[in-house]
Amino acid sequence: MLVSEPASPKRENTISNPESSPKHSESGTSDESSGTLRHRLLGPSIQKSGQDGVNQAAVSEIIYQASQGSKYFEHQKRKEKELTKKVESIVKQAAKVSNQELEAAEVRVDALIRQYEATRDLTQTIVHVDCDAFYASVEELDHPELKSKPFAVGKGVLCTCNYVARKFGVRSAMAEFVAKKICPELIVLRLNFPKYIEKSNAIRMILSEYDPRHCAMTLDEAYLNITEYCANMNKDREEVVSEMRRRIFETTGLTVSAGIGPNSRVAKIASNVNKPNGQCAIANDREAVMEFMCNLPVRKITGIGYVLERQLLALDVNSCGEIYRKSALLYQIFTDTTMTFLLNCYLGLGSTEVKPIDQYERKSVGCERSFRAISDMAQMKQKLQHVAEDLEKDCKRLNLAGRKLGLKLKKATFEQISRQRPMPRPINTASDFYRYGLQMLEKELPITVRLIGLRITDLVNLSHEGPMKTFLKGQRRHNDRLEDEPSTSMNIHAEFKELFDGSPDMHDDEEIGELVMIIQGSQEEDASGVIDDYRSSAKATAARDIKNEYELQHNTATPLMPVPESESLPLSTDSGDSATALVSCPICGNQVSADDQALNHHVDWCLSRGAIREAVKETFN
């Protein structure tokens, strides 16, 4: 049996077999791909916990039969065929690599490994907390009678399902009608986000006691750094985490699983090991981490999905440890970024910094909607208009505008098209979204679509910019890129009016916060060392430039203010007793500080990250 490949694993001999490796005879692209097609159709959550005694073959067959002949099915079939081709070409490419090349690659890889190894930080204790079947569990609290029945939450596509349903082979991300074929008595509940948000907040409240700067990724998942807490309380980390989980259960009735390790990557993977309602700790010890990673199937790693897994399997890399055995070969085949990623996985390295989600800079905001396939222009215009309006709402709420607009179309065949173009000025109104979106759409006619989406990038934060600054930014942009539309001062005046009509001005320090985020972001990358140097330095330069620009325009070189709440006073109770008045958040109803900034902060959080939108927006077709 394969006992560990412990401390000093052997790399596979460079004289590796061009001939003997292909164990899957992928050669018959036509027929043989039906096996992998079934695999593809099974979807992403196949290797997740919860369905032990499931007859996968039977389930797979039902899914196959249920979807056969549909447009979706045909699309998946095409994609699978393409992937199979790509995998075959990779295998061929691998066979051509000479021993000389492999030896050279070995040297390079070893240098990389030493470089990454030097960044290893074992001083922090990171926890990944993951609620078990979150939406379903929340629903069970309200409907205890459901506990014994198979049920799911979602609409059209299942978001999650309880463990009873999983026994049938029902999984998240599965189409509702397929799930009903597998489990005819399946009950499907609609999403009820306000409820989930409330529970999520209750959990986060507890998490905050252990790490006030925890990072809530979604409603049901968060990272914590409990290093300080453990030190302060002089408690063992596993004890701390099980206490935390117990408290979450006692106050919310929900069970969570947790992973504990020296960094986010290890913690995240570990949180799945003893799911549901369990925890798994990996010691902050190099050997322990390496051993944990070694036998891990590559698909368990966040960031390795179906496609990369297929490619790795074809190169005979099944487990993380085999990344090392085959590293010289992988180096010849994958890009630098992917190689860096894979080696960091093999080494069990990852980020040790945890910071609140709202300290990440948003890069884009978009809106898309599916509907029954249409080709009529009037109907498409109507859909586009809806999307444009919804996007405007998000822009107004977030106080953002975009310098680029992207149009996304999904054809009736599920084939996707995306077009992007720079805007003459930052835009954030439905009428602009519609106008420019329509121009892009018209170029694709005739077309039959089942989805239309709009997304803006190159964002401009309008929150606290005075009108003058917006004016300047518009100008600068025009000068930069030899405008595609002449910018008259009339134009800019018109835009200015549009942007600021009826929108509040106030707060003037959030932009500084924004700058801090940018700068911190780049520092983080520098420190972690796993991100390519050129990228972080470019980003740092950009951040400096922005900062300088800011100082220039405001005629002040004030030290950057610390970012809101958590960082400035995590536990301090001294100052501002007067500011502790509480009000109910209009969104989630929780008590939050009435302090203007804190409230705004909270509301923004509450509304953002996509969760509430699904509750608020009805998607009528």
Partner DNA sequence: ATACATACC
Partner DNA sequence: TACTGGTATGTAT
Quick check: 232 binds DNA (CB under 7 A)? no
Residue of the chain from 161, 280, 282, 365 that contacts DNA (CB under 7 A): 365
Active site annotation includes 221: yes
Contact positions with DNA (CB under 7 A) in 198-227? 217-218, 220-221
| Nearer of residues 227 and 428 to DNA, judged by Cβ | 428
CA distance 361 to 543: 12
CA pair distance 237, 241, nearest whole angstrom: 6
CB of 78 to DNA, least distance (A): 9
Task: Report which of 166, 170, 39, 17 is spatially closest to residue 94, judged by C-alpha positions.
Answer: 17
Q: What is the residue-wise DSSP string for 512-578?
A: HHHHHHHHHHHHHHHHH--S-HHHHHHHHHHHHHHHHHHHHHHT--PPPPPPSHHHH-SS--SS-GG
Look up residue 262 and give its two tokens: 């020296």
Nearer to DNA among residue 325 and residue 411 (C-beta): 411
Stretch that binds DNA, among 169-177, 194-202, 287-295, 494-502 (CB under 7 A): 169-177
Q: How far is the CB of 218 from DNA (least distance, A)?
A: 4
Q: Which is nearer to DNA, 230 or 601 (CB)?
A: 601
Size of site (CB under 7 A) for DNA: 67
Residue 151 neighbours by CB distance under 10 Å: 23
- The answer to whether residue 70 forms part of the interface with DNA (CB under 7 A) is yes
Tokens 């519609």 belong to 434
- By CB under 7 A, name the one of 153, 178, 224, 462 that touches DNA: 178
Smallest distance, Å, CB 306 to DNA?
A: 4
> Smaller CB distance to DNA: residue 450 or 601?
450
Q: Which 129-168 residues touch DNA, going by CB under 7 A?
A: 156-157
Q: Does 120 bind DNA (CB under 7 A)?
A: no
Which one among 194, 366, 467, 529 touches DNA, defined by CB under 7 A?
A: 366
Q: How many CB atoms lie within 10 A of CB 164?
A: 18
Task: Confirm or reject binding of residue 363 to DNA (CB under 7 A).
Answer: yes
Q: How far is the CB of 452 from DNA (least distance, A)?
A: 10
Q: Which residues, numbered 498-527, are part of the site for DNA (CB under 7 A)?
A: none
> Whole-number minimum distance, CB 363 to DNA, in Å?
3
CA dist 240 and 245 (Å) reads 9
Residue 136 phi, psi dihedral angles, 5° rounding: -65, -40
The distance between the two most distant Cα atoms of the chain, rounded to a whole number of Å, is 77
Binding mask 286-325 for DNA (x = CB under 7 A): ---------------xxxxxxxxx----------------
CB-wise, 63 or 241, nearer to DNA? 63
- Burial of 304-338, coded b for 16+ CB within 10 Å and e otherwise, reads bebebbbbbbbbbbbbbbbbbbbbbbbbbbbeeeb
Which residues, 6+ apart, have CB-to-CB distance to 400 below 8 Å?
Answer: 362, 365, 428, 456, 459, 460, 461, 462
d(CA 491, CA 474): 10
**By the rule CB under 7 A, 404 interacts with DNA:** yes
Cβ nearer to DNA, comparing 405 with 592: 405
Question: 13: part of which helix (H) or strand (E)?
Answer: none
Rounded to whole angstroms, what are the CA distances from 536 to 321, 338, 495, 522? 29, 17, 34, 6
When asked if residue 108 is in the footprint of DNA (CB under 7 A), the reply is: no
Given the residues 221, 368, 511, 567, select the one marked as catalytic: 221
Asked if the peptide bond before residue 144 counts as cis, ω within 30 degrees of 0, the response is: no
Distance CA 449, CA 372 (A): 8
Spatial separation of the C-alpha atoms in residues 388 and 367, rounded to whole Å = 8
Check binding of 362 to DNA (CB under 7 A): yes
Binding mask 421-450 for DNA (x = CB under 7 A): xx---------------------------x
CA distance 441 to 267: 44
Sheet holding 416-427, edge to edge: 364-374, 449-461, 400-411, 416-427
Report if residue 177 touches DNA, rule: CB under 7 A: yes
Closest contact distance (angstroms) between CB of 473 and DNA is 16
For the CB of residue 458, give the shortest distance to DNA in the complex, in Å: 8
Instruction: Give whichever of 299 and 547 is closer to DNA, judged by the CB atom.
Output: 299
Residues labelled catalytic: 221
By the criterion CB under 7 A, which residues form the site for DNA? Answer: 41, 44, 63, 66-67, 70-73, 79, 83, 156-157, 173, 175, 177-178, 217-218, 220-221, 301-309, 334-335, 337-338, 360-370, 372, 390, 394, 404, 406, 416-422, 450-451, 453, 455, 609-610, 613-614, 617, 619
